[in-house]
Structure formats: C-alpha cells, structure tokens
Structure 1
Amino acid sequence: MRLSEFIEIERDERAERRRLADEKSYEILDRLDGVGDQFAEISGGDAVGSVSPSIFVGRAGYPNVSTGLLSPVGNENDAGQFVTDGAWYEEGVSIGDVFERRTSLLNASQTAPVETNVHDTWEGFLGVQREVALADRPVGIEVGLDGTPELDLADSVDDVSAPTGPRARANDATLTENPHVPRPVKKTLEDDDWRATGAMNYLYNRGFDVYEINTILSAGALGKRENRRLVPTRWSITAVDDTVGQYVRGSQRNATSVDTVSVWHNEYLGNSFWIVLAPGAVGVRTRRVQSPR
C-alpha cells in the first residue's frame, strides 16, 4: 500500500530522473557498436561468402518491395540458430539473445515487384532467395554487394517491428551448394492448382511449424500459379497464423468437452500467458491486457 494512492503528492522530477538513470541499460548501445565492428571489413564490390538460413521481404514501397537474403556473416557454423522458430522457446532464448541474433544477420537485398513471375523463377537473385526459403537447412551462398552494409534502426522508432541487422544492396547471388528441399514442400510447390490455404494446412499437418510455412509463403512458393507472388514477411506471418489457427479451431469442434475448469499459465520474453478451459460448447475468447509500467 502506497500513500500516493490516497493523497496527491507532487512528483519529485529530479528524483525520478535519478532513478531512471540508475536503471538505464547501455547493453543495446554496446551491442550496436559490436555490430559495426562485425561488418566493418565488408564494403561495396565485395563478394561475401556465407550461409543463408532465411529470407526477408519488406513491405515499404509495395508493390515494389525490398527482398533479401539473411546471412550471419562470421557465424556460418551456427547459422541454424539464427532462424526464427519454435526452438527458441525450447532453448530459453532471452530478449537480449533475440536482439543479438537479429542484428547479426546481414540483409543483402534487391528491389523487385511482387508479381515478378516468382512461380517460375529459379535464376538470379530471386531464384537463389527462393531456394533458400524452400530448403530445410541453411544454404551456402555467395553474394556480390553494391554498397557498404549500414545499420538503420530509425524505422523502429515510430513502429513496432523486429530488430534487423545491417543492410546492403546486392548485385547478384549464387548458390555454393545444392539445397535440400523436403518432399512435402516439393509437393506444394509442384501442385500449382492448389490454393495457398490448403497448402499451408497440408504442411502444418506434415510437421512444419508456422515459421517455416511463413518463409515459404513469403517467397511466393504457395498457391495457384497465377496468384503466386512475393509476400511481405509481416503479412505472411499474419496470413499463416490466421489460416492455421482457423484449421486448428475447426479440428476441435467435435472434441469431447472438458468436465472441469482448469487454468494454465506460462511466461516468456516478458509476456504472461493464461489459458482457461471451461465445460461447454467449443468457442475461443481472447483478451490482451497491457500491464502497468
């Protein structure tokens, strides 16, 4: 119980500033300095050999978007750890770890229209990007850069977005090894009369998590031939979550009702999750509450 809850007390602004200064962390700034050192030797005209675990498609300028290959330059042996997936939870990855992994990825990118015949593109930069998206493990690549990598977090100031690493324009990209594509992915790729929603649910039923499906969709490798196009990463995340979520909810409609009320709780990355199960007809209600700072 605090006295300020019952009577109005004038705030001591100096004391408040001192408190905030004591609590301030410079870990992020120190990390950004480290990122600059990590990529300092890379400059325009260089051909960078690395391993690409994933891709990124931006949404700014749509329908002409920035599409890139992500590479942990200097950390090729651990490239698999830089792929965003459910394994991060199993590892207990912290917010600091997420920030470090995200900012360690070089985004070598080009600008392309989303409807750039991606359904039949296997050559050049977009072809390499597509191969990386379809593979079930990081792929060896070589990227020719047209500029020096630059780290810019300005876009995150007025927007909610994941931290990203340095970006540099790419002239071209080539594969240095043959990617391994799982059989279910080949099936959805080759069947270009299959709607994207059906292909997503098929992959989910074959054990692919939403992160993997999101990457494949983002590369324009799902859906009917005439509808295939590059999908900005943020939009593909929403599409996959919505599609798979509807499928999972639908599969539970005929399930046997629980007999008693049960409450489940977990916490991760500063979020607290509560799930309440109660007897009755199948239904889902969600509530999102922001805790006081």
Structure 2
Amino acid sequence: MKFVKKFKKKVPWLSGFQDIKKLLELTPTKKKFSRRNICLLCRGTKLLCGKSRCPILVKYYSFSAIKPLIRRKEIDGSSPPAIFVGRYGYPYVNVSPLVPPIIGDTSLLDTPELWKDLDVSEIIKFRFSLVRGNFKSHVRDATKSHRIINLVQELAMAKNSVESYMVLKKEPRGVIIDSDLQPMGPSAPLENIDINSLKTNHLIEKLYEDDDLKALEAVKILYKRGLLISSIIRAFSVGLFGMKNERRFVPTRWSITAVDSMLSNWLINEFIKGNPIISEYRVFETTFFGDKFVVILIPDAWSYEFIEAWYPGTTWNPSKEYIAIGGDWEYYQGRTTYASIGGCYYAARLAVTEYLAKQRIQARVLILREAYPDHLMPLGVWHVREGVRKALKEKALKFDTLQQVINYMRESLRLSLDTWLSVSRTLLDLTKQRKLTDFFS
C-alpha cells in the first residue's frame, strides 16, 4: 500500500513563537484527490468519506443546538474557568475569557481529562457553547495593571466555576476545529467583563505572588501536587508564573506544548535515566475516539519515537488511496529542535514518561497511532495524551524477543508491517544495526 512521509523544515524549539506555523502537512505528493464534489453528492447520507458519521452534520447540529443562546452581545453564565490566548498577530494577541450561557458547575467544559467516556458530538456541543470575548493585548502586558487583564488572570487562578457577565461589541461568530486545541466556540471583541467573587487555588496564587521563581519550577510544583495538566496550561498561558520581568502571555497552542515538553524532559532527566532497564518487551494497546494507540516498551536505554498513520478519509488525509504517515524521534541525549509533527509528539511523551517514572523503570519507547475514518474531527492534543495514558492502564502483553513483538504488530495493526519497518527509526535500529555490546556478548 502506498504511503507518504512529508515533513516541513524543523523549527528550533520555542525560538520565535510567532514564526511557528503548521509543521506537518499530511497530504499526498504523487496524486492529489479532490473532495470538492463528495460532500455535494453525499449530503451526509451516503458517508462517501468513509466515516461512520458526517463531521459536517455533527458540527452543524452541535452548533445549532446552542446558537439561540449565544447569538447575543451579552453572555451571562459560569466560566469553567476557561481562558484562550491566540497566536495570530503575535506579539499582539487576543486574551479571551470563555463563558457559556449556563449558570452552575461548568468545569467539565474545559477539563479534557474528564472527556474520555464522552461521545465526540457531546464534546463538540458543549465546547461550542463557550463564547470567547477577545481582548487584544501585547504579550508583555501580563504584568500590567489593567482591569480586564487582572480579571482574566483571576479566572485562571479560580478553583471552581465563576459566575461571569460578558458584554461583547457584536454578536459572536465562527468556531475553531484544530489539531492542537480542543474545539472552540464563537467569538467577538470584548467590551467588558464582570465576575462574582471566586475561590482561588491557593497554591497557584502563592506561585503567582512569587516573582523570583522560574516558570519551570512553578509548573513542576503544581504537577507534583497533582494539579491537572489542563489547569497548569491555563495558568501558564496567562503569564502567572516566572520571574517578574519575564512573565508573558503565551498562546494557548504553545502553552500546551511547552508544559508537555517541560514536564516530560524533567521526568526523563531526573527520574527515568536513573532507573533500571526493563528485562522484557511490553506492549500496551487501546482504541480512543476512533484511533488505535500501541505503546511498545523495549529493554534498552531511554529513547523515544512517535509515529502516526492517517488512513484515507481522515482529517489530515482526504485522499481515497494513500495512507499518510508522519513521525519523529529522539535518542538518549534528547532533542534540540521542535518535533516535526508538532504538539502530539510531546503530549504522548509526557504520558509515557509519567508511566516509566511511576513504575521506576527505564525503556526505549515506540508509540504507534493509527487514525481510522471513524476519527471524525480534530479534538486537540489532549486526545493523544489521554489516549496514551489510557493504553498504559491496560494490562501489558509481555514478550521475550523483538520477533515476537513484530509478529504481534503484524496481527494487531492494520498498516502493513513492511511499512512500519520502513518508517520507524527505532525498528530500523533494532533490526538492521548491531549494538557495540553485541561484539562483546
């Protein structure tokens, strides 16, 4: 079966945030397939795209259900709390509180760690109910004394949902479906916002007040105290942490990857590299929102590879004929460049390093993701993080030899074994190269 690997030029990790664009386009290079007429012919009835449900209709019905409640300039509801920091126009970005037209406990709406048992249509529906009030600000204004900025930062410190009242300059429009971000509801320029009294997370508040502590240290403290990744990302994005003169608003997309990267690097260097290497091969597998995740732990020193294969008719592969494949890796020393496949690489790395650190073991890691046509639409990199976490909670299959693992892959994965062998640096190393220690065994 034909496939394609297409990477764009790698970008130095986190250097010049404003220059980071789409890092991978999973589209065929030899033959392009136009979908221009498929939707017109299908109209959601024939499912010509190969999906089990029409993603256009899922999006339409989800938005239609809440449209009458949000097509207004005044939004009265409870923020989960939720904040979005945009990236377009950097260093001038939109800093946006998110408020649904719902009063009460809305925390579920911005806590992806709790979405694993929900249906995609449920997630889309409640995410579309969150209205973004866009307030343009320079990233350095995170330390500025400004009423709206201060209220947004208070929201990010909130322990529970916060009753909020937003006044917009016009009716909110448009929604966002993105590979890195969870779905986003409509937006409009923010005129004003008021919030009721709130209970803050005292640890976040304490770290906010400590302007002599580096952001990395603050993130580590929150993580060690059990704060959810989504909550850490929210606080990080609005510039609550770091040395006083270094605090910035960080676009949400970049905040997600930054937190995943910082924490996984810390786990690797402080814990995993000092752990004993496992003595057998371990394989974990699960399906999650239309994708299959396979995690392979290999008895060797730490290294990591993540590869994803997008089947025809999936979000990033509209072709009818080709399977699109992308991946990246790092050896024991780590990497100094931004992974070519973007945030999913770091989200998966955090999930597997959590497992290794908790088990007090070291291993070489290969994670494979197959995205099938049932993958209706992008949900954000949390999907990958939680998918790998879910796989690692399953009972491990243990093997004595690499050949047994390869035989298992042949039976378990849809993509041909020859294809995986041809694109995986890890499998290439293990099957084609002899380690120096082999000469002394």
> What's the TM-score, normalizing by structure 1?
0.82
Contact 2:65 2:125 in 1 (8 A): no
Q: Does the alignment pair 1:112 with 2:143? A: no
Q: Does the alignment pair 1:61 with 2:89? A: yes
Q: Distance in 2 between matches of 1:39 and 1:18?
A: 30
Q: Distance in 2 between matches of 1:189 and 1:220?
A: 9
Alignment correspondent of 2:213? 194
Q: Does the alignment pair 1:83 with 2:102? A: no
Alignment correspondent of 2:202? 183
Return closer, same or farther for 1:18/1:238 CA change in 2, 3 Å cut-off. closer
Alignment correspondent of 2:65? 34
Partner of 2:304, secondary structure, is coil
Q: Distance in 2 between matches of 1:86 and 1:204?
A: 14
Instruction: Identify the match of residue 134 of structure 1 among 143, 152, 157.
Output: 157
Unaligned runs of 5+ in 2: 1-36, 48-52, 314-441
The within-5 A match list for 1:96-245 is 96-116=121-141, 118-119=142-143, 121=145, 123-150=146-173, 152-153=174-175, 162-177=182-197, 179-245=198-264
Return closer, same or farther for 1:86/1:160 CA change in 2, 3 Å cut-off. closer
- 1:159-182 deviations in Å (ceiling 9; x for gaps): 8754321212222222212x2222
User: 1:58 corresponds to which letter in structure 2?
Assistant: G
Q: Distance in 1 between matches of 2:121 and 2:304?
A: 33
Return closer, same or farther for 1:261/1:172 CA change in 2, 3 Å cut-off. same
Contact 1:221 1:228 in 2 (8 A): yes
User: 2:78 corresponds to which letter in structure 1?
Assistant: V
Contact 1:85 1:212 in 2 (8 A): no
Task: Give the C-alpha shift of residue 99 in structure 1.
Answer: 1.1
Return closer, same or farther for 1:59/1:272 CA change in 2, 3 Å cut-off. same
User: 2:65 corresponds to which letter in structure 1?
Assistant: G
Q: Distance in 1 between matches of 2:254 and 2:225?
A: 23
Task: Give the C-alpha shift of residue 189 in structure 1.
Answer: 0.9
Return closer, same or farther for 1:57/1:275 CA change in 2, 3 Å cut-off. same
Unaligned runs of 5+ in 1: 1-12
Q: Distance in 1 between matches of 2:216 and 2:187?
A: 32
Return closer, same or farther for 1:20/1:81 CA change in 2, 3 Å cut-off. closer
Task: Give the C-alpha shift of residue 55 in structure 1.
Answer: 0.7
Task: Give the C-alpha shift of residue 226 in structure 1.
Answer: 0.4
Q: Distance in 2 between matches of 1:182 and 1:32?
A: 32
> What's the TM-score, normalizing by structure 2?
0.56
User: 1:112 corresponds to which letter in structure 2?
Assistant: S
Q: Does the alignment pair 1:279 with 2:299? A: yes
Q: How many residues align?
A: 267
Q: Does the alignment pair 1:270 with 2:293? A: no
Q: Report sequence identity in percent.
A: 25
Q: Distance in 2 between matches of 1:195 and 1:174?
A: 31
Contact 2:78 2:103 in 1 (8 A): yes
Q: Distance in 2 between matches of 1:285 and 1:166?
A: 36
Alignment correspondent of 2:76? 49
Q: Does the alignment pair 1:22 with 2:50? A: no
Q: Distance in 2 between matches of 1:136 and 1:148?
A: 29
- 1:91-113 deviations in Å (ceiling 9; x for gaps): x1222122112111011221111
The answer to which of 129-138 and 30-39 deviates more is: 30-39
Task: Give the C-alpha shift of residue 187 in structure 1.
Answer: 2.7
Contact 1:266 1:272 in 2 (8 A): yes
Partner of 1:77, secondary structure, is coil
- 1:62-83 deviations in Å (ceiling 9; x for gaps): 111111111111x222411101
Contact 2:87 2:251 in 1 (8 A): yes
The answer to which of 183-192 and 211-220 deviates more is: 183-192
Alignment correspondent of 1:70? 98
User: 2:166 corresponds to which letter in structure 1?
Assistant: V
Task: Give the C-alpha shift of residue 218 in structure 1.
Answer: 0.6
Alignment correspondent of 2:338? none
Task: Give the C-alpha shift of residue 240 in structure 1.
Answer: 0.6
